[in-house]
């Protein structure tokens, strides 16, 4: 355990950050799962908000920026193929 005052504070902050990152990461994963499972037309409407969530995670450093780009690309590609198949 930390012995210095500043190190104890850093440990407390790390716990708060971990909980926050866990919450937002899980929320985003659930949104992605719902987007993939839902109807293509509904998914097209929800895509901008989910992409925004992914971008925020990348900006905060919760996920890597290239992983965020890959996720957004895969989601857009899936929605576009689903829309094309529906027509």
What rounded mean pLDDT belongs to the chain?
94
* Domain positions in the chain: 5-86
pLDDT digits (tens, 9 = 90+) for 30-39: 999 999 998 8
For the whole model, what pTM was predicted?
0.86
Beta strand ranges found along the chain (DSSP E): none
Q: In the prediction, which pLDDT does 86 show?
A: 83
Q: Chain centroid to CA 62: how far?
A: 8
Q: In the prediction, which pLDDT does 2 show?
A: 75
Q: Is 14 exposed, middle or buried (0-12, 13-18, 19+ CB in 10 A)?
A: exposed
DSSP 61: T
- What average pLDDT does the segment 15-28 reach? 96
CATH of domain 5-86: 1.20.58.110
Worst-scoring range by mean pLDDT, 2-6, 15-19, 29-33, 58-62? 2-6
């Amino acid at each position: 355990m930390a012995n210095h005052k500043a190190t104890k504070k850093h440990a407390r902050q790390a716990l708060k950050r971990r909980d926050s990152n866990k919450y937002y990461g899980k929320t985003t994963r659930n949104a992605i799962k719902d987007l993939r499972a839902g109807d293509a037309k509904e998914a097209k409407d929800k895509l901008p908000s989910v992409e925004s969530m992914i971008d925020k995670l990348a900006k905060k450093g919760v996920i890597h920026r290239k992983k965020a780009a890959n996720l957004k690309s895969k989601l857009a590609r899936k929605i576009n193929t689903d829309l094309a198949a529906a027509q």
